[in-house]
Homo-oligomer: A and B are copies of this chain.
């Protein structure tokens, strides 16, 4: 159908899904990769001098950041690159420890901008408690990149084993705060929409709040977590259902959406459930521990507006919204998101 890559292939929607399944996984057959999770959990084995094997379960993840613009309210590409990778490890039930930082710089980038981005990345790494231990710097000709692209990869140790195969009918779905802040803030900055008010990206290192959850009594009862970045909440919910026969019911009245994002989405004709976040995560948890987990989240600075927004149902399949006016409508997976280069 396509013989060339389009922007939609990078949107996080079903077009991205097809690219990954039909082109990439056709070639790379490692079962860990095929799980298509935010991080890989791998066993590292070492031969000690006595010949005895020792093994350890490590979480490993990578992400490249190509966001446009590189500075936006609430963050910049440096902060985003650290948070995104730290968050991918946290979503896998891991405690992030070390990250790498690889820069692809377009010739002509101002040193002051580079320094600002690096300082922001360093401050975020300190906040998240991860050490930047290796890196790489490449420069390409003017017009062959867009100011700066950053890849961060990260490793940590797996503390809680999570996976979509653990999801059960009846599981409650929680989110740690308001939906769509990152996407709307970036759209406003890029398109110069001139929407006033305090619209800022939610970019944040989620390991600080997930560690509290792992350490709480609710920890062993968390089934699956994922951060709704490209493609927003709905895309992640569809991913969570893959390979299962379950459905998901969301309750519109419970969705935490700021008045600013709500207003901007009305004007732009967007649904916040499809808009990207960079400091939010969805958690699937045994219903008996959902209340406790919600309290743990609400006590943390990154979870003050946490809410229980829905649940897993044995049927019907798909993702459904129970609306404020008493109706039910399907939340379909999009082919491609409206705003490329959101991360």
Interface residues in chain A, defined as those with a beta carbon under 8 Å from any beta carbon in chain B: 2-11, 16, 19-20, 23-24, 27-28, 30, 32-33, 39-40, 42, 44-47, 54, 56-58, 60-66, 68, 97-98, 100-112, 114-115, 118-119, 121-122, 125, 131-141, 143-146, 149, 151, 153, 155-157, 159, 340-341
Contacts and interface: CB of A to CB of B under 8 A. Distances in A.
Given A100-B153, A139-B6, A56 B39 contact: no
Contacts of A66: 104, 138, 140, 144-145
A18 to B, nearest CB: 11
A44 B97 CA distance: 8
Contacts of A58: 44, 58, 155
Contacts of A133: 30, 32-33, 40, 42, 60
A107 B5 contact: yes
6 contacts: A5-B109, A33-B134, A42-B133, A46-B56, A64-B149, A151-B153
Contact of A111 (B3, B7, B33, B98): B3
Interface centre among A137, A139, A155 (most CB of B within 10 A): A139
Contact of A140 (B10, B30, B63, B114): B10
| 4 closest Cβ pairs, A-B complex | A10-B139, A153-B153, A62-B100, A40-B133
Contacts of A30: 131-133
Given A23-B115, A98-B40, A146-B145, A60 B7 contact: no
B137 A39 contact: no
A61 to B, nearest CB: 5
A191 to B, nearest CB: 14
Contacts of A141: 7, 146, 340-341
